Amino acid sequence: MKAIINGRDVELKTEKTILELAEEMDIEIPTLCHHGGLEPYGACRLCIVEIEKNGRRELDTSCTRYVEDGMKIRTETEEIIEKRKVIAELLLARAPESKKLQKKLEDLGVTETEFTARDYDCVLYCGKCVRACKEEVGIGAINFVGRGYETEVDTPFSIDSDVCIGCGACAEVCPTGAIEVDDEGSTRYIRYFNTTLELKECRECGDFFSTERMIERLKAEEEFSSFAEEYFDLCEKCRRNKEMSKFLEVKQ
């Protein structure tokens, strides 16, 4: 399969999205909703590119569109750059207070927006947190609820989730920083989703290091089935210290 991207000929042996091809060729395409470990979603629209094939020209999201034989792809035309700026301004209007988003959009030359800012709690509805929880963690503790302007990301019935394990994957992938995970004493708070979880205390040092639900989840995983119970009672630092002590004993 042969294609042309930004005037460069390329031959593909395996199926790839346009974004994947661009990354391999060190061609930068901006994204917000894309994550390498998640299925393509195309929600933010920042990754749009121009595609020409059989005399037909169109714009499409590079994270969801696969390269086809004979395609001519352009990632930085004047039209694309202008449309990305408009999209960026719309996103900024949704989360005007997000420093994380502001920094990302500065690379596109967008530092302010002409669109009316609305109180969206800095949430873009890019779906990253929902997909990470479902696809990577395998829990599905959060989802989209409501329709249209009333759409939100939340737990079922907007109450403390009884299935969330408190791993923080939702906060890790959030492009605006709207989701925060705070540990206070023996409790972990995921405030955006009104969820609290108890933390486990390390048997050696007394520090709180993980949620009880995360520990139980790990115990149920096949790859951890042979681990001694002691492994789950220690924080990472104390585990390393234990292993080092055992190593030194053997060396002596």
Over the stretch 123-162, which tens digit does the pLDDT of each residue have?
898 999 999 999 999 999 999 998 887 788 999 988 899 9
State pTM to two decimals. 0.86
pLDDT digits (tens, 9 = 90+) for 21-58: 999 999 999 999 999 999 999 999 999 999 999 999 99
Contact (CB, 8 A) for 136 and 130: no
Decide if pLDDT at 216 tops 90.
Answer: yes
Please tell me whether residue 143 adopts helix, strand or coil conformation: strand
Tens of pLDDT, residue by residue over 178-202, are 999 999 999 999 989 999 999 999 9
Give per-residue pLDDT as tens, 51-85: 999 999 999 999 999 999 999 999 999 999 999 99
Please state whether 57 falls in left (phi above 0), alpha (psi between -120 and 50) or beta.
Answer: beta
Angle at the Cα of 114 (from 104 to 77), degrees rounded to 5?
Answer: 60
Which candidate, 117, 120, 141, places its Cα nearest to that of 129?
141
- Give the whole-number percent of the chain exceeding pLDDT 90: 81
pLDDT in tens, 82-120: 999 999 999 999 999 999 999 999 989 999 999 987 666
Residue-wise pLDDT for 222-245, tens only, equals 889 889 888 999 999 999 998 887
| Predicted pLDDT of residue 244 | 82
Question: For residue 147, what pLDDT is reported?
Answer: 84
What does the pLDDT read at residue 243? 84
Residue with tokens 């933010």: 44
Under a CB-based contact definition with an 8 Å cutoff, are residues 124 and 32 in contact? yes
Residue that the structure tokens 């290091």 belong to? 209
pLDDT at residue number 247: 57
Domains, in order of start, for the chain = 2-106 (3.10.20.740), 128-251 (no CATH)
Which two structure tokens, joined as six digits, stand for 160?
Answer: 């403390």
